[in-house]
Amino acid sequence: ARYVFRFGGGVSDGGAGDRNLLGGKGANLAEMASIGLPVPPGFTISTAMCSRYYAEGEQFPASLRAEVADGIAHIEAVTGKHFGDPADPLLVSVRSGARVSMPGMMDTVLNLGLNDETVQGLARAAGDERFAWDSYRRFIQMYADVVLELDHGAFEEALEIAKEDKGYTLDTELGAEDWKALVGHYKALVEEQWGRPFPQQVEDQLWGAVGAVFGSWQSERAKVYRRLNDIPGDWGTAVNVQAMVFGNMGDSSATGVAFTRDPGTGERAYYGEFLINAQGEDVVAGIRTPQYLTRAAREAANARAPSMEEAMPAVYGELARVFETLETHYRDMQDIEFTVERGALWMLQTRAGKRTAKAALKIAVDMAQEGLIDRETAVLRVDPLALDQLLHPTLDPEAPRDVVAKGLPASPGAASGRIVFDAETAEQRANAGDNVILVRIETSPEDIHGMHAARGILTARGGMTSHAAVVARGMGRPCVSGAGSLAIDAKARTLRVAGRSFKEGDILTIDGATGEVMAGEVATVQPELAGDFGTLMAWADEKRRLAVRANAETPLDCRTAREFGAEGIGLCRTEHMFFEAGRITAVRQMILSDSEKGRRAALDRLLPEQRADFVAIFEIMAGLPVTIRLLDPPLHEFLPHEDAEFEEVAAASGVAIEKLRQRAAELHEFNPMLGHRGCRLGVTYPEIYEMQARAVFEAAVDVARRTGDAPIPEIMVPLVATRRELELMKAVIDAAAAAVFAETGHTITYLVGTMIELPRAALKAGEIAEIGEFFSFGTNDLTQTTLGVSRDDAGRFLATYVEKGIYAKDPFVSLDVEGVGELIEMAATRGRAARPGLKLGICGEHGGDPASIGFCETIRLDYVSASPYRVPIARLAAAQAAL
């Protein structure tokens, strides 16, 4: 097999399509050369050699020597210079380049091929002594740092001392003799630290650098980066060896980096920086302040140093033409590295430029409108998950920040508000019109209403998957979790941090994108939902087949969901409504009662409240389908804990406190997740589901009559395992419907279906579909029950599981397609066989995960349902899945 691929001088052995083999950098160098752009000649040693190098015990096969020699000969032929030639030496750079750009890989070595002899030749050939010695000192320092891995601090120190001795402040003040002296120091440093003299043989230099590139593939830094970014370890890196061009040959030379459009805003304006008489990474290293590329940018920044457009108008013009060529050719925004050698422009790299979500959106829409790409491509260009950044208010970047603590960026967006330390106060203050930030050591399910009422959530404990983080993301509330330096005293209602003290009602600001906690209010800017966002979403909607619904139960969430384009509610969790202040006592009275009569008395009190909930939702959803899940969680979640709470229930129900306590103790469960919950509640206490169904139908009739938009209730029975369970529950629901329709003289079309969230239900989907008119895959519980992993306890081991490759991703974030997915597919097939046209959807976290949505498209579900803030993500992901 062949391992060396040439480019430049009219030759291109590869091209942009060979990214896997040549790495991104190598493939694009070959591509640029093939479309006639000025690229210094060179060759790429393929990623396949990297794999072979490791397979053969970190050895190069003998055949590689000959191939590399041919590669060098190619460069020599094009440049007319010879590697190691003391009279006029060819110098090269050695550059790593994996398929995707990867920090952690070896840094580039420039000016390779210099030694004590060739440096003289370079000086003579260039007619510039200073330039030659500047290049040599750069080479020794880079080689010592990245190939020999010596302590680079000593080299920087030597340079600083040299400057101090001469009274210089800038590198540019050093002359040929200064650099010559420094080279002497550097060589001594190498010998001292490495134990051997600096390699003088250019072949040794080259192989040392090539070996270092391959070696860096398995460096700790690279491994960590791969793990964090899901990059397989067997991809390997390529090595690029390329003729040097020199940006440090005086004032007609320069080096720079540029984007063809603004990567921050997406504006169609060249964006970049350059430095005159500089080399390599001087621009990003911050040794000198770089200059702007365009006059407009310089003027906008009020900078004095001339832009490239002004300082080198001819080369700038050529560069601008290259930008246009590259954009037309690649049909995407490009990130470019270039060098100017004595007035001649050379391209050293191009790749699709990284950009903010905002820029991605604008560039995709603009390019489609410019005719550079079609709408499908525009829709495919934007990462659905990146939309998340755009949907929340963000802190005004200009506003000053008084940061007092830092936690985890648990849920994006920013919020300012008065701090409160418990959910009740959060709700009261919010109802009174305050913006509040709920501050808790950690949150629990009982805090839900307070989290809802709050603008933002701040916790001292808990990670990115803590209750606070998960719930906040689901609700679209900004959240900073695990800010360990907060000393919270919830009783005293105070918070101490960084030597300062805050009390209830004081104002804090949190930034869920950075984890910063700030004293006082910081101005925010609202997201822009029209404009480019609206345009791209409309294109996405044209392409997608899957419908997108929202998981929502409060009027606020329902409205947000509709603003974000939800086509119905896929999951309305009725238990959240039970926690509302004012009703919890009735709920507790119902639970703690030991007779049907007692329960009915409490349920009668809840009925009008539930009905009002559904009226509000149906009005907002105006004729769209609304899937209502009947009560699901284990009853003990609603139990009172404190004396005052027991007293309240006792007063309301007329039952003695002792009896209530006893009943509460009876309700204890060892494993509530698999306990008395879901339809098991409806089977044992049918009156609960009867009340809920009645509330739904009464509300539906009321709204249909008043507004003319008849809602489409889809009543969903949770945690069904058998046909018989659903049959019993359907009878309760149908009876409630018949009663309401008879009483009101108005009929509503509705469906009764079930959540498929137990493996048995998936297996018996054929039988269950005989009763149920729709299935919604409850993938949170289905994942828990299929994997036998409790979501609340998985934190301790799941990361290790993912690290060891047991699961590719956290199965609670991205559907385990192989396992849980097979069950879903089977249930869908069996269900549809039993009931053609069976409506199929998915709710749960996975409904907002692009990869999981891709799977839902392959098995042709009818809809996905996601939390309101994930609705746009789901719309875009569904469109991408369909394309």
Nearest to 390 by CA among 561, 512, 526: 526
Q: Of ligand ADP, Mg ion, none, which one sits near residue 560, judging by CB under 5 to 8 A according to partner kind? A: none
447 binds, among ligand ADP, Mg ion, none (CB under 5 to 8 A by kind): none
Nearer to ligand ADP, 23 or 565 (CB): 23
How many residues touch Mg ion under the rule CB under 5 A: the total is 3
Q: Which stretch binds ligand ADP (CB under 6 A): 236-244, 545-553, 763-771, 873-881?
A: 236-244
Shortest gap between Cβ of 349 and Mg ion (angstroms)?
A: 4
The DSSP call for residue 144 is: I
Least Å from the CB of residue 271 to ligand ADP = 16
Segment near ligand ADP (CB under 6 A); pick from 147-155, 240-248, 451-459, 716-724: 240-248
Shortest Cβ 806–Mg ion spacing (Å): 34
Q: According to CB under 5 A, which one of 93, 240, 349, 394 is a site residue for Mg ion?
A: 349
Please pick, from the candidates 245, 395, 566, 624, the single residue that binds ligand ADP as defined by CB under 6 A.
245
306-312 contacts, C-beta under 8 A, 24 or more apart: 308/254, 308/256, 308/274, 311/276, 312/252, 312/254, 312/340, 312/343
**From 54-62, 241-249, 267-275, 817-825, span contacting ligand ADP (CB under 6 A):** 241-249
The answer to whether 843 is a known catalytic residue is yes
**Comparison of 95 and 375: residue with beta carbon closer to ligand ADP:** 95
Binding partner of residue 425 among Mg ion, ligand ADP, none, CB cut-off 5 to 8 Å per kind = none
Scored b (16 or more CB within 10 A) or e, 2-16 reads ebbbbbbbebbbbbb
Indicate which of ligand ADP, Mg ion, none lies near residue 242 (CB less than 5 to 8 Å, by partner kind).
Answer: ligand ADP
When asked if residue 339 is in the footprint of ligand ADP (CB under 6 A), the reply is yes
Among 8, 26, 40, 753, binds ligand ADP (CB under 6 A): 40
Q: Which two tokens stand for residue 734?
A: 């149908």
What SS3 state is found at 584?
Answer: helix
Assign 10 to helix, strand or coil.
Answer: coil
DSSP string, 327-349: HHHH-S-EEEEEEEETTEEEEEE
> Which is closer to ligand ADP, CB of 252 or CB of 744?
252
Nearer to Mg ion, 349 or 783 (CB): 349
Phi/psi at 80 (5° precision): 75, 10
Nearer to Mg ion, 349 or 466 (CB): 349
Of 242-250, 268-276, 459-467, 739-747, the window that binds ligand ADP (rule: CB under 6 A) is: 242-250
Q: Which residue is nearest to Mg ion (CB)?
A: 349
Within positions 247 to 266, which residues make up the interface with ligand ADP, using CB under 6 A?
A: 255
Closer to ligand ADP by Cβ: residue 110 or 620 = 110
Query: Which residue's CB is nearer to ligand ADP, number 38 or number 766?
Result: 38
**Token reading at 697:** 């139908």
Choose from Mg ion, ligand ADP, none: what does 424 bind? Cβ within 5-8 Å by kind. Answer: none
Least distance between Mg ion and beta carbon 108 (Å): 6
What six digits make up the tokens of 630? 């009947």
Q: Sketch the per residue contact string, 96 through 115, with ligand ADP: x for CB under 6 A, - otherwise.
A: ------------x-x-----
Distance CA 750, CA 771 (A): 14
- Which member of 47, 205, 216, 349 binds ligand ADP (CB under 6 A)? 349
Give DSSP secondary structure letters for 146-167. Answer: IIS---HHHHHHHHHHHHHHHT
The reply to whether 50 belongs to the active site is no
Give the one residue of 212, 244, 710, 823 binding ligand ADP; rule: CB under 6 A: 244
Q: Which residue lies nearer to ligand ADP by CB, 237 or 867?
A: 237
The H or E element containing residue 436 is strand 436-440
Closer by beta carbon to ligand ADP, 242 or else 560:
242
Residues 151-180 that bind ligand ADP (CB under 6 A): none
The sign of the torsion formed by the CA atoms of 125, 128, 131, 135 equals: positive
Q: Contact with ligand ADP (CB under 6 A): which of 281, 521, 687, 734?
A: 281
Q: Please say which residue, 28 or 459, places its beta carbon nearer to ligand ADP.
A: 28
Please identify which residue in 34, 46, 93, 350 interacts with ligand ADP, judged by CB under 6 A.
93
Among the options 449, 467, 576, 846, which is catalytic?
467
3-state secondary structure of 371: coil
User: Which is closer to Mg ion, CB of 217 or CB of 750?
Assistant: 217
Q: How far apart are CA 268 and CA 853, in angstroms?
A: 33
d(CA 149, CA 161): 22
In whole angstroms, the minimum distance from the beta carbon of 766 to Mg ion comes to 58
The entry of ligand ADP, Mg ion, none near residue 653 (CB within 5 to 8 angstroms by kind) is none
- How many angstroms separate the CA atoms of 421 and 490, rounded? 6
Distance between CA atoms of residues 27 and 349, nearest Å: 10
Which one of 101-109, 693-701, 723-731, 795-803 is the stretch in contact with Mg ion (CB under 5 A)?
A: 101-109
Comparing CA positions, the residue from 100, 185, 177, 92 lying closest to residue 144 is 185
In the complex, least distance from residue 37 CB atom to Mg ion, rounded to whole angstroms: 16
**Extended beta strands in 140-282, E state:** 237-243, 254-259, 271-276
Spatial separation of the C-alpha atoms in residues 510 and 480, rounded to whole Å: 7
Cα(591)–Cα(614) distance, rounded to whole angstroms?
22
Alpha helices, H only, 260-333: 282-285, 295-301, 308-311, 313-330
Sheet (strand 494-497) strand order: 487-489, 494-497, 500-503
From CA 551, how far away is CA 628, in angstroms rounded?
10
Question: Least distance (Å) from ligand ADP to the CB of residue 91?
Answer: 8
Candidates 135-143, 237-245, 391-399, 455-463: pick the segment binding ligand ADP (CB under 6 A).
Answer: 237-245
* Positions 281 through 340 that interact with Mg ion (CB under 5 A): 337
The least distance separating Mg ion from the CB of residue 288, rounded to whole angstroms, comes to 18
- Cα–chain center distance at 666: 45
CA distance 73 to 236: 26
466 counts as binding Mg ion under rule CB under 5 A = no
Helix (H), strand (E) at residue 40: none
Q: Quick check: 866 and 550 in contact, CB under 8 A? A: yes
Toward Mg ion, which CB reaches closer, 210 or 606?
210
Given CA atoms 865, 866, 872, 877 in this order, what sign does their dihedral have?
A: negative
CA–CA gap between residue 868 and residue 476 (Å, rounded): 7
Q: Which is nearer to ligand ADP, 42 or 868 (CB)?
A: 42
The residues facing 334 across adjacent strands are 352
Question: Which of 679, 843, 846, 856 is the catalytic position?
Answer: 843
Distance CA 336, CA 353 (A): 8
Cα separation, 555 vs 488, in Å, equals 32
Instruction: Please give the size of the binding site for ligand ADP, defined by CB under 6 A.
Output: 16
- Residue 22 burial by CB count (10 A; 0-12/13-18/19+): exposed, middle or buried? buried
Q: How far is the CB of 399 from ligand ADP (least distance, A)?
A: 34
Q: Is 67 within 8 Å of 46 (Cβ atoms)?
A: no
Residue 95 interacting entry, from ligand ADP, Mg ion, none, C-beta within 5 to 8 Å by type: ligand ADP
Q: What string of DSSP letters covers 200-213?
A: --HHHHHHHHHHHH
Question: Closest distance between ligand ADP and the C-beta of residue 228, in Å?
Answer: 18
State the nearest-atom distance from the C-beta of 216 to Mg ion, in Å.
11
Yes or no: say if 820 and 852 are a contact pair by the CB < 8 Å rule. Answer: no
Report the C-alpha gap between 820 and 833 in whole angstroms.
20
240 binding Mg ion? (CB under 5 A): no
The catalytic site residues sit at 467, 843
What are the residues binding Mg ion (CB under 5 A)?
107, 337, 349
Interface residues with ligand ADP (CB under 6 A) are 40, 93, 95, 108, 110, 242-245, 255, 280-281, 337, 339, 348-349
